[in-house]
Amino acid sequence: MERLSEEEKKYLKYQIYSLRYEDPWIPNKKVARMLNRSITTVDRYAKEAEEEGAIWNPTLGVYHRDRKVTLLQFEDKLRAFNELQKYMNIGYVCVFQGGWDIMTVYDEEVDFSQIPGYERTVMKGLREKIFTSKVQYTSWESCFDKMEELLRKDFVEKSTIDYDPCYPDWDFYTISGLM
């Protein structure tokens, strides 16, 4: 049997991710049959992708009937982050880069439109009921092209957030319709 090239390995991991996105409980045996690959190959690359954090096994979650999640956009996400941390009924606030700026988890209703710099609510729902869109398979070349296009714009705002990102082999953060 032929060895897979690096690009073929990346694409196989993406195919496994895509099938798990549609059915988180799909067994590797079925994935192997659908992709016309051996079970050993699928097991190996599924395990690698899990270790890289690119895909994950399904987990059980505790559903709390009063816990809500909202994805929000703000003019200044750091300022909004600091402001939202002051709210006692908000249990979790996280800053994102991409189609939304802030995710909040809370128990009681919050009027986010009163937070300075509020632009819009991207999505709102009960905890354990919100999912993000499936990402597309893309190359680094297309990502760099997009970055170059953004850098050529007249106004680029420098981020004040200090973080150490970890990126999987494919562009996991390019979400359909958000870039």
Question: Bigger pLDDT: 113 or 155?
Answer: 113
Query: Cα–Cα distances in Å, from 106 out to 73, 88, 123, 144?
Result: 17, 9, 14, 37
Residue 25 makes CB contacts below 8 A (sequence gap 6+) with 58
155/142 Cα distance (integer angstroms): 22
Other CB atoms within a 10 A radius of the CB of residue 70 amount to 19
What's the whole-model pTM score? 0.46
pLDDT tens, position by position, 9-20: 999 999 998 898
Residues 57-94: pLDDT tens digits? Answer: 766 555 566 788 888 999 998 899 999 999 988 988 98
Confidence band for 175, pLDDT divided at 50, 70 and 90: very low
Ramachandran assignment for 36, one of left (phi > 0), alpha (psi -120 to 50 degrees), beta (any other)? left
pLDDT of residue 177: 41
Are 95 and 161 spatial neighbours (Cβ–Cβ below 8 Å)?
yes
DSSP characters over 5-66: PHHHHHHHHHHHHHHHHH-TT--HHHHHHHHT--HHHHHHHHHHHHHHTSS---------TT
Give residue 166's pLDDT. 55
